[in-house]
């Protein structure tokens, strides 16, 4: 098992859960279905990362959409640096896993809107892809 500091764990949680929220907010739809789709899609991540994500909640309340996007994209970039240093295997799979999670959130209502595709592209760019 890989040990992550509290700050590293917070960055990883902000990255993954924040990306889900960005996609969900891009094209408001059935929030509960989107949330459940995102949580089910966490299976794309390694067991170590799922453990980090389940350790605590992320509070995204009180942020404007612009602040949310800025913080989440920053957390995605930071997460890649953390994973590159601590778990190269996770660093290699993390971008595709997060993109898959975002896609599951986007398709939860049966279709992917252009604005959701644009947000997923920003997420991929922040992940270095």
| In a domain? residue 74 | yes
Q: What is the pTM of this model?
A: 0.93
Q: Is residue 118 part of a domain?
A: yes
Residue 53 in this model has a pLDDT that exceeds 80: yes
User: Residue 62: left (phi > 0), alpha (psi -120 to 50), or beta?
Assistant: left
pLDDT digits (tens, 9 = 90+) for 66-124: 999 999 999 999 999 999 999 999 999 999 999 999 999 999 988 999 999 999 999 99
48 has pLDDT over 90:
yes
Total domain count, the chain: 1
Instruction: Supply the range of the domain harboring residue 95.
Output: 6-126
Question: How many Å is the Cα radius of gyration of the chain?
Answer: 13
| Residue 1 domain flag | no
**Mean per-residue pLDDT for 9-35?**
92
């Amino acid at each position: 098992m890989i040990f992550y500091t509290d700050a590293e764990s917070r960055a990883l949680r902000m990255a993954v859960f924040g990306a889900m929220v960005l996609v969900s907010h891009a094209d408001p739809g059935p929030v509960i279905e989107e949330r459940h789709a995102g949580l089910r899609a966490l299976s794309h991540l390694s067991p170590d990362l799922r453990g980090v994500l389940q350790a605590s909640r992320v509070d995204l309340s009180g942020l404007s959409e612009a602040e949310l996007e800025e913080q989440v994209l920053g957390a995605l970039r930071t997460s890649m640096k953390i994973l590159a240093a601590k778990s190269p295997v996770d660093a290699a799979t993390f971008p595709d896993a997060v993109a898959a999670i975002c896609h599951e959130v986007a398709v939860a209502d049966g279709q992917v809107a252009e604005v959701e595709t644009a947000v997923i592209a920003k997420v991929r760019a922040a992940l270095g892809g």
